[in-house]
Structure 1
Amino acid sequence: MALSGLCVLAYVVVVYGDRLATRSYLDEASLQAGSALRLTVSALSGHLSRYEPLPALIADHDDIKELVSDPDNAALVEAANLYLKEINALLESSDIYVMTMDGSTVAASNFESETSFIGENFSYRPYFQDAAKGGQSRFYALGTTSLKRGYYFASPVHVGEAIRGVIVFKVDIDTIETFWRGGEYKILVSDPEGIIFMTGSPEWLYSSLLPLSPDRLERTQASRRYAEAALKPLPLKHGELGSHDLMTIADGGSAREYLVLSQYMPQADWTVSVLMDTGSVRSQARTMLIAVVLFFCLAGLALAIVLQRRTRAAERLRMQIEARNELERRVEERTADLALVNRQIELEIAERRLTEQELRKTQGDLIQAGKLAGLGQMSAALSHEFNQPLTAAKTYADSAAMLIDRGRVEEARDNVQRISRLVDRMAAISRHLRNFARKPNEKLGPVPIETVVGDTLEIVAARLKSADARLDIDLGPQPLWVQAGSVRLQQVLVNIITNAADAVEGLEDRRIELVGRAQDGKVILTIRDHGPGVPAAISERIFDPFFSTKGVGRGLGLGLSISYNIIKDFGGGLSVSNKVEGGAEFRIELDGALPAQEAAE
């Protein structure tokens, strides 16, 4: 009866264990595929974001504006062609071309090619239609002339207040696929209609994951997204196991089952999918089941031995000796396995340390890029800050010469002193900008808040002046010292105050308030503006890299992300909230520190 009970139990394990084991291994495989999916989406987003601001910058070029104003001028066409060809080669893009408002192409970087776009009309493309209405548009398609796939960025060409043309920037996406071929996972990208237009498996290209209904075909053909390419349904069947989506694809006469993970990219309107072959997963599940069945068989054998121990004492002793030898062998094997695992752990620790060093280097590079981007955005205002003293110095110098000619030496000396003070001010501004732009190589230590705020004010004064904003500073009655790095803390304040100036520019209340207080061994700095505040929809993403609510060309979306990581490196925290009476408030919390002299004692 006991043996029959074990057999029934083994049958239950075989029937239900396969499903449970497979689901368990699928959970582990899903985590690995999820990491691959996130890396793929990040790589695609990064590749496209490099080119997004470029069409608007090129559209602002004088040659392009003159061309769309007089498209029949041969000299202007030739100059524009050469300019676009040079920019295209420099940026390693696919093609750049200019269209008039009727959709006709008048200049292109490929004007010397047999498949030149000049003379072609692309008014049916959605990217032209959106840009012609004044928007910055994006679109991906198979070129009707070049028959090459690409991602299109389009921007209107403004001449005065009117839109006179559209400039298009095409990015080649074929090179991305080369990194997907031959890997552990199959990666594919599909459009809203379910058509695959990027994949590491060429045989799946232009296949549809969804039924090719007349509505889908009509929408695809209206924009001529895939030119004359033949669209075909992908022979697949959907399934699921627990919370996992499975897909069986008939490929080359044989059907293969894949675990599918997908992520939608809203800006590009793509769906990225990672497919992992489940063959190895099911094989592992079967192996585990075989081991379990063997375990029950061994248990049955042990039970049989116990039942016969009175009549087979000698046999039981022999079996015990064999069992002990088997146990010792397994202990030796397990010891060897543990030694191998220890070596693997040591290697992983070394790799993680190397990765941490690379991350810190990358963070430093991003910090430097953020500072240079901020200086670039403030360049016009800083130029005004330098031009005013230079103009005044020129006036004082001319006046001094006239006063000397008239013998009024004391008045001339006063003018020379004024010129000296103006030069000192320009030198101070230049020194602060040079220190701000230099890569920081500083260790953490006691930093006086008052000094950092003063240096910051020298840098942001021009931006505050251009925005007609007023910065009110209240650091309390006692000097505040924090444990930080002076240059990096200064960059955080520059980023936040500059963003506050952007928020209040053009509003009735343009006050910005910077308040510092010591509290329970911490120093709390708050920067508050009276602008529109931070929308709830983006408050959770405001510190993400490359996330920005500003327009094209007005930032990389790195400022707040860099600021967040700088404060985190200091052992502090950076957060943002909206005030009830209006405006946003950034809160910086840092560890307090003793002044440098007291710390040295």
Structure 2
Amino acid sequence: MTAPAPVVVSSLRRRPIVLLLALGLVAGLMLAGGWLAWNARLEAGRERLRADGAARLAGEAASLMQLFDKHRHLPRLLAMDPRLLTVLGPDRPASAVDVVNRHLTSVGQQLDLQAVFLMDRQGLVLAASNWDTPASFVGWNYTFRPYFRDAMAAGAGVFYAVGVTTEAPGLFLSQALRDAQGRAVGVVVVKIGLGALERAWATGGEPLALADERGVLFLASREDWRYRTLAPLTLADRAALAESRQYGRHDLQRLPELAPLAALWPPVSPGGLQRDVIDSEGRHLLQAHRLEAWGWTLLLAADLRPVHRAAAIEAAALGLLGALAVAGGGLWWLQRRRLDERRHAALALEALQKDLAQQVAGRTAELMAANETLHQRIEALNEAERILQATRDQAVQAGKLAVLGQLAAGVTHEINQPLAALATCADNALKQLDRGRHADLRESLSLVGELAGRLGALVAPLKGFARAGSAICLPVAVTDALDMAETMLAPRLRETGVTIARRIAADAGRVLADRVRLEQVLVNLLSNALDAMAAAGVCGRVEIDVDRRSDGRIALQVRDHGQGLSSSASEHLFEPFFTTRSRGLGLGLVISRAIAQGLGGELSGGNVAPEAGSGAIFTLVLPAPSPSSPESSA
């Protein structure tokens, strides 16, 4: 009964090894299949790219030949014009030169040519289409140009170069002019711009360039390719280029990106056949198309990276399909194994859900009770906040009335004098009425009006100051608030002889505050300063400095020259009912700080210096208004 056990154990031990070998075999087959698919797709992509490139090179070559055919007969037609021979004659009348200049200008404009010009047998330009421009060719000598030498020797010439005078590149087509004896007496030249062709290349897709017989790229869709070489130039080539000034001042350095084409240079492909090569990094397919008529070569650099990506994607897709097939088999086996586990898990989950439902029900009841308690506390806090706000407003109003009580004596003194004068004027008016002195009566009544206006001006600030209301923060001019505070304290200022010196920074002229409450704080601070200086027996000035702090808020400082704050006063400065004056209530600074905090600011105080007699300084900090804030009305 126990004999088969070793066989079972041995089988179980061999199973992982067999499974690993099978997985390795499948993985190897997938890798091999993916590599074969990638290689085949890559070669197909290269062939398609070769075909597309060959078609484009053939099309661009045809466009070049079409452009050449369009203009190649033009120099010969111009050479047949007898007016040009007249200019080349020994007399050379000025009128004939002018006629030829205008004729060449008309031809250049009609055919959209860069330039048309006429040279004598010494290479001197006698007439040109640009004769009336700052870049005129007239008077220049171009004997060093191959298009002149070829035309004088063989009758015609073709040459691409950068202009010596204009530094503009172009294709020069030349034709010799002959006299009655058949001798070459001059050369007519047509310069064609190929900029439009170059711009069309730039929008046509893959980079395209045109190289001369020395391997110099003189036309290119990429600017960094232009006037570069496929291989280093020989000393003889550089000497010939310098003599003809074909490419002006350009350095003609080698272009490493197209270095693999040097192996094909010059392309030995008569009849316009094409050659191609792949660079060492496998990133570009470089193709060349020979133009035998001119000795030029069209070059195309096609990007192989999209082909590589497409091949890699296809290989990866095949590998993924194989992996999915293997994974599908494994998933089928795992699915069967997990069915039993899910049944057991479902039973355990059902029991857990029942237990969880009981816990949720209990916690829900607790949360509902806690939520009800929280609502009650929030309502209590809101009620307390309303009571606190009402108490604060009442305290502010009480502070106003307390300040008004302190100002009552001064205002009474100010009112007594106008009242006495008013009574005198009224008595005089009655007497003047009885005596019929109407002119004097008018003057007395006018004085009565002036005195009544003065009384109204004395009472109006106190009336507005005492008005109750909630704080509304708007931009307030600091100067206006200080003016109102000084107006309410004017009797005390005259009585004590104290002056107020202001210094307001240019960028600190406005604050965001309730104007009436700001005036209440300023009156309180200035009144305390006057009391401190009166107690010290000092008759000087109270200094007010207003600046903008680094955090953007406005700081208003009130400094007196009294004895300063004692250590006890500094410690209890903002405590209710603490005062150093026999008549004080100890609420002024407390209310002022509450007002400052209600306006979004702060109020602090202390001594100017540790030494006795340095005076006290109080700082009120308020927010600055934004540019879009509405203005406060007076």
**Normalized against structure 1, the TM-score is what?**
0.47
Structure number with the higher strand fraction is 1
Which of the pair is proportionally richer in helix?
Answer: 2
